[in-house]
Amino acid sequence: MTAATFTRSWPSVSAWGAGLIIAALGAGAIVRSDSGAAASGLGIGMVVLGLASLAWGAATLSTGRLVVPRVALGGALAALAATTALMFVASAHTSIIGVAAASLLLVVVGATTAVHLRRRAPQNRRSAQPMSVTGLLVAAAVIAVLVTPALGATQDAVLLRDDGTVPVVTHDGH
């Protein structure tokens, strides 16, 4: 196994993690009863970017190569800008942990696609190469450690009351 086959799965898994967090942040901005038009608009855009990130990750993993790298780089930059903007528009109900984790994962996707674009010759199409199962498992473990707490913190930020408490949701009777 080479370093290239080990790290080939990281961008797709990072895109999935970022997509989940971005979609959660966007959904939180949409469903809050006190969200203004700016927060709702950003939320809708972030949900779309999150779903696009999930689709791009799936396409990249299934083909074994970075698909539409220019679009992916633009999407990563747009998602970074949207998450940053949401921090300013709805800072009281936006999770800093969610934003930080999504930003880190988006940087991985953006840097990978930028390096790919820099190294690729326009006339030279590389064929798909196999991905490493070990690389995929390590990437999935790292992403799970980042994404799971970020999603929890995102939910807490959305549910945050004016007095600074988060309600406990019970599932009695289920």
Tokens coding 39: 């927060």
Note whether 146 and 20 are within 8 A (CB). no
pLDDT tens per residue, the chain (174 residues)?
A: 454 554 567 888 899 999 999 999 999 888 877 778 888 899 999 999 999 999 999 898 888 788 999 999 999 999 999 999 998 988 777 888 999 999 999 999 999 999 888 887 554 455 555 666 777 787 778 888 888 888 888 877 777 777 767 677 676 766
Whole-number Å distance between alpha carbons of 15 and 108? 8
What is the DSSP annotation of 110-164? HHHHHHHHHH--TT-PPPP-PPPHHHHHHHHHHHHHHHHHHHHHHHHHHH--TTS
Note whether 50 and 123 are within 8 A (CB). no
Note whether 8 and 64 are within 8 A (CB). yes
Question: What are the structural domain ranges in the chain?
Answer: 9-121+129-159
Tokens coding 160: 């945050």
DSSP 92: G
Note whether 9 and 57 are within 8 A (CB). no
